[in-house]
Amino acid sequence: MFDLTGKCALVTGASGGLGSAIARALHGAGATVGLSGTRVEPLKALAEDLGERAHVLPCDLSDRAALEALPKQAIEAMGSLDILVNNAGITRDGLMMRMGDDQWDQVLEVNLGAAMRLSRGALRGMMKARWGRIVNISSIVGATGNPGQANYAAAKAGLVGFSKSLAAEVASRGITVNAVAPGFITTAMTDVLKDDQKTALLANVPAGRMGEPDEIAAAVLYLASPEAGYVTGATLHVNGGMAML
Partner 1 sequence: MSDTADRVRKIVVEHLGVEEDKVTENASFIDDLGADSLDTVELVMAFEEEFGIEIPDDAAETIQTFGDAVKFISEAQ
Interacting span for partner 1 (CB under 8 A) from 35-43, 94-102, 165-173, 214-222: 165-173
Catalytic residue among 104, 131, 152, 184: 152
Closest distance between partner 1 and the C-beta of residue 123, in Å?
10
**Which letter does DSSP use for residue 182 in this model?**
E
Positions in 107-136 near partner 1 (CB under 8 A): 124, 127
Nearest residue (CB) to partner 1, 175 versus 179 = 175
Residue 152 falls in the annotated catalytic set: yes
Nearest residue (CB) to partner 1, 82 versus 109 = 82
Mutual orientation of helices 114-129 and 150-170 as an angle, nearest 10°?
20
Q: Contact between 170 and partner 1 (CB under 8 A)?
A: yes
Nearest residue (CB) to partner 1, 57 versus 166 = 166
Q: Contact between 64 and partner 1 (CB under 8 A)?
A: no
Q: How many other C-beta atoms can be found within 10 angstroms of the C-beta atom of residue 180?
A: 27
Interacting span for partner 1 (CB under 8 A) from 44-52, 62-70, 86-94, 169-177: 169-177
**Which letter does DSSP use for residue 211 in this model?**
B
Q: Contact between 172 and partner 1 (CB under 8 A)?
A: yes
HEC per residue, 8-37: EEEECCCCCHHHHHHHHHHHHCCCEEEEEE
For residues 21 and 214, give the distance between their C-alpha atoms in angstroms, rounded to a whole number: 6
Nearest residue (CB) to partner 1, 116 versus 205 = 116
Q: Out of 49, 76, 102, 169, name the contact with partner 1 by CB under 8 A.
A: 169
CA dihedral 153, 155, 160, 164 (to 10 degrees): 160
Backbone angles phi, psi at 137, to 5 degrees: -85, 105
Count of chain residues binding partner 1 (CB under 8 A): 6
For residues 232 and 197, give the distance between their C-alpha atoms in angstroms, rounded to a whole number: 35
Give me the active site residues, please.
Answer: 152
Residues in contact with partner 1 by CB under 8 A are 124, 127, 169-170, 172-173
